[in-house]
Amino acid sequence: MREGVGVDHRPRPQWTRKERVPTLAVLPSRGAARAGVLAAATALFAVAPAVPASAHVTVSPTAVSKEGVSRLTFQVPNESPTAGTVSVRLTLPLDTPVTFAMPAAKPGWTTAIGEEDLDKPLDIDGYEVTKTVHTVTWTATPGTRLEPSTFTLFEVLLGELPQNTDKILLPVTQTYDDGKVVDWADPPLPNGDEPNSPAPVLTLTDGGAEHDAHAAPAAQQTTAGTPWLAVSALVVGALALGLSIGNLLARRRKSA
């Protein structure tokens, strides 16, 4: 041994096989992992934006072009704590006629279009139009209803939209299976306040439609409040991750 070189006589740590086991081996069991994922999911729902106590029927988009055919989506909430919605009727104005309507097919619901004769025929692209669409009705088949505290979406193609106005009211009548009827038909108040049962308002523009009949399809039914759609996707991802971790732990415990 060379002089001047010190020797460290401190005792060295005695590592055992158990102490060298990778950290992953001491992770919680599959049941604990799943419990953790469920806790994370609960936290996601807890921090999600709260759903308003009183939702309204709304239309999306809120502005479309007067030209061509537009695809509209109506979001209808079920505000009853016990009864289910079994009928939804959209009423189109007769003083500003809409000559074409095609409701989207919806599982568990039938559709019907009601027409009215025009007092004065319209000329649209060289064709004489003598009737206008007045109502579009979705009716639940037996055994189907919009459940309490949920909402669903009803879609319809409309065209050609009125040329002589920049806004139209689109009243919606909602019927429950306990006989209650709610008319979402109130126009906006002059002072800007919201009425008790506001009707959806559609703004009509002269430019090209940004949202038309080729828009992406929307989800059909979920719990009330649009933010829940994104939260649900996060929760599903978290659950899938939890199951993957649980399977990995199970395999490692078997091979240990």
pLDDT at 125: 74
**Phi-psi sector, 11: left (phi>0), alpha (psi -120 to 50), beta:** beta
3-state SS of 222-240? EECCCHHHHHHHHHHHHHH
Listed residue (165, 150, 170, 188) closest to 73, CA to CA: 170
pLDDT of residue 43: 43
Contact 174, 151 (CB under 8 A): no
What token pair was written down for 196? 């008790």
Instruction: Find all residues with CB under 8 Å of 239, minimum gap 6, and list them.
Output: 37, 41
Alpha helix positions (H), 2-158? 30-47
Please indicate, yes or no, whether the overall pTM of this predicted structure exceeds 0.85.
no
* pLDDT band, very low/low/confident/very high, at 76 (cuts 50, 70, 90): very high
Gap between the Cα atoms of 243 and 247, Å rounded: 6
Q: What span, in angstroms and rounded, lies between the C-alpha atoms of 75 and 229?
A: 13
Strand partners, 102: 157
Stretch 157-175: mean pLDDT, rounded?
94
Topology (CATH) of 58-218: Immunoglobulin-like (2.60.40)
Integer CA distances (angstroms), 153 to 37, 77, 88, 156, 218, in order: 30, 9, 11, 10, 8
Mean pLDDT of the chain: 75
pLDDT of 106 reads: 97
Q: What tokens appear for 200 in the block?
A: 């959806």
Of 35-39, 96-100, 110-114, minimum mean pLDDT range? 35-39
Q: Where are the domains of the chain?
A: 58-218
Question: pLDDT category, 44, cuts 50, 70, 90?
Answer: very low
Strands 58-60 and 100-103, sheet pairing: unpaired
**What is the reported pLDDT for 47?**
43
Higher pLDDT, residue 51 or 132: 132
Q: Which amino acid is at 178?
A: D
Q: What pLDDT score was predicted for residue 63?
A: 96
**Distance (Å, rounded) from C-alpha 35 to C-alpha 41?**
10
Backbone phi and psi for residue 196, each to the nearest 5 degrees, phi listed first? -65, -45
Rounded Cα–Cα distance for residues 24 and 37 (Å): 17
pLDDT score for 17: 47
Instruction: List pLDDT tens digits, range 101-160.
Output: 999 999 999 999 999 998 888 877 788 888 999 999 999 999 999 999 999 999 999 988
User: Is residue 2 predicted with pLDDT exceeding 70?
Assistant: no
As a whole number of angstroms, the distance between CA 55 and CA 226 comes to: 11
Q: Which two tokens stand for residue 189?
A: 């108040």
Please check the confidence at residue 96 and state whether its pLDDT lies above 50: yes
